């Protein structure tokens, strides 16, 4: 059964006001297209779960869709700060922003516990740091085998996970390569999953390389084809990071008026991500195209 739909329909159906939403992807496969559609539909009071809130998080916070962040690293990677988010945290401008803060492995552990139906995940972190003081959900846990102890983090089960991949079948089996972050754990932890892909491929492509499947269709609620949907982030083998955009964002984000103008021009003023992609222009996309580097063949064997 095909689950292919539009981003507008998927967000409209699966992301409600007040929901917790995981948009994962560690530098790679960050679905800006979904963030923009959430902004466009005017969602409010979202809890955004993401190890590394970066540009799309700054945009979503600036647009007023997000009232709470669950995270482990906050910034414009390789550039500096996210100024809209900083204004809200440092000066409650224009409103306070609730935060719930972990370390990277703490967040990964939270998704893992959420995905695995565990009441906690144990890890060797936090001892003597101020993080458990800042976040009382991080608690010490003695080993049941005697003189050792670890810290525990609680499971994270977002209402929705939005996962971008290179290719997916219409039914939702999703394959990715390159940096995988914690996309799999976030998807299995979530109550609903939206797969966004560069390409919808025949099921036979998926079935010809089952080890590449990151997310199985049985946990997927919608499949959206959005080529270029991670811009200015990147998709391994499809397009490079648009670094000038990351640099430009620093200036835009420092100035609330410039940020609002950007949202008007690039989000509210466009019907969908196809328009965004067209507006960026063929030349910019061409500059982001990588050369070819094909994986060597592997034989699964035919067994009849």
Partner 1 sequence: MNWTANEIMVVAAARRLAGERVCFVGIGLPNLACSLAQRTVEPSLELVYESGAVGARPQRLPISIGDPCLVSGARSVTSQFDLFAFYLQGGRVDVAFLGAAQIDRRGSINTTTIGPYERPKVRLPGSGGACEIALNAAKVFVIVPQSPRSFVSRLDFVTSPGHVPGRRARGGGPDTVVTQLGVYRFVEGEMTLVSLHPGATLEQVQAASGWEVAVASDLVETPPPTAAELADLRALDPQRVYLG
CB of 292 to a copy of itself, least distance (A): 6
Per CB under 8 A, does 294 bind partner 1? no
What is the number of other CB atoms lying within 10 angstroms of the CB of residue 63? 22
Per CB under 8 A, does 95 bind a copy of itself? no
Contact partner at residue 141 from a copy of itself, partner 1, none, CB < 5 to 8 Å by partner kind: a copy of itself
CB of 76 to a copy of itself, least distance (A): 21
How do strand 149-153 and strand 4-5 relate by DSSP bridges? unpaired
Contacts (CB under 8 A) with partner 1, residues 29-88: 51-52, 71-75, 77-78, 81, 85-86
CB of 206 to partner 1, least distance (A): 6
Contact partner at residue 52 from a copy of itself, partner 1, none, CB < 5 to 8 Å by partner kind: partner 1
Per CB under 8 A, does 116 bind partner 1? yes
Closer residue to partner 1 in complex, CB, 52/59: 52
Give residue 11's Cα distance to chain centre: 14
Cα 280-282-288 angle, rounded to 5 deg: 80
Per CB under 8 A, does 242 bind partner 1? no
For a copy of itself, how many residues bind (rule: CB under 8 A)? 46
Q: What letters, b where the CB count within 10 A reaches 16 and e where it falls short, cover 87-119?
A: bbbeeeeeeebebebbbbbbbbbbbbbbbeeee
Contact partner at residue 188 from a copy of itself, partner 1, none, CB < 5 to 8 Å by partner kind: partner 1
Per CB under 8 A, does 284 bind partner 1? no
The SS3 assignment for 183 reads helix
Phi first, then psi: give them for residue 20, nearest 5 degrees.
-95, 130
Contact partner at residue 16 from a copy of itself, partner 1, none, CB < 5 to 8 Å by partner kind: none
> Going by C-beta distance under 8 Å and a sequence separation of 6 or more, which residues neighbour residue 158?
19, 20, 21, 22, 47, 49, 114, 186, 189, 190, 191
Per CB under 8 A, does 240 bind a copy of itself? yes
Q: Rounded to whole angstroms, how far apart are CA atoms 175 and 205?
A: 10
Q: Rounded to whole angstroms, how far apart are CA atoms 65 and 79?
A: 24
Stretch that binds a copy of itself, among 95-103, 115-123, 187-195, 261-269 (CB under 8 A): 115-123
Binding mask 130-169 for a copy of itself (x = CB under 8 A): ---------xxx-xxx--xxx-x-x-----------x---
Burial zone of 77 (CB within 10 Å; 0-12 exposed, 13-18 middle, 19+ buried): middle
């Amino acid at each position: 059964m095909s689950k292919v739909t539009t981003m507008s329909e998927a967000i409209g159906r699966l992301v409600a006001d007040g929901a917790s939403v995981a948009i994962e992807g560690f530098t790679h496969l960050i679905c800006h297209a979904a963030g923009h559609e959430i902004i466009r539909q005017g969602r409010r009071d979202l809890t955004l779960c993401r190890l590394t809130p970066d540009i799309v998080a700054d945009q979503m916070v600036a647009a007023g869709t997000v009232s709470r962040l669950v995270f482990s690293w906050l910034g414009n990677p390789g550039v500096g700060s996210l100024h809209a988010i900083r204004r809200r945290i440092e000066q409650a401008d224009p409103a306070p922003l609730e935060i719930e803060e972990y370390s990277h492995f703490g967040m990964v552990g939270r998704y893992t516990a959420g995905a695995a139906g565990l009441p906690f995940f144990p890890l060797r972190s936090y001892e003597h740091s101020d993080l458990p003081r800042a976040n009382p959900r991080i608690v010490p846990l003695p080993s049941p085998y005697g003189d050792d102890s670890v810290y525990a983090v609680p499971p994270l089960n977002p209402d929705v996970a939005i996962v971008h991949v290179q290719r997916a079948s219409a039914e939702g089996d999703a394959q990715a390569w390159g940096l995988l972050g914690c996309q799999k754990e976030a998807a299995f932890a979530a109550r609903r999953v939206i797969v966004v892909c560069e390409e919808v491929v025949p099921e036979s492509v998926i079935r010809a390389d089952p080890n590449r499947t990151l997310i199985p269709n049985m946990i997927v609620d919608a499949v959206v084809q959005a080529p270029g949907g991670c811009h200015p982030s990147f998709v391994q083998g499809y397009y490079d990071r648009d670094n000038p955009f990351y640099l430009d964002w620093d200036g835009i984000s420092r100035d609330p008026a410039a940020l609002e103008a950007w949202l008007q021009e690039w989000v509210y003023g466009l019907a969908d991500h196809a328009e965004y992609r067209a507006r960026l222009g063929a030349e910019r996309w061409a500059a982001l195209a990588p050369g070819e580097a094909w994986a060597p063949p592997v034989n699964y064997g035919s067994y009849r």
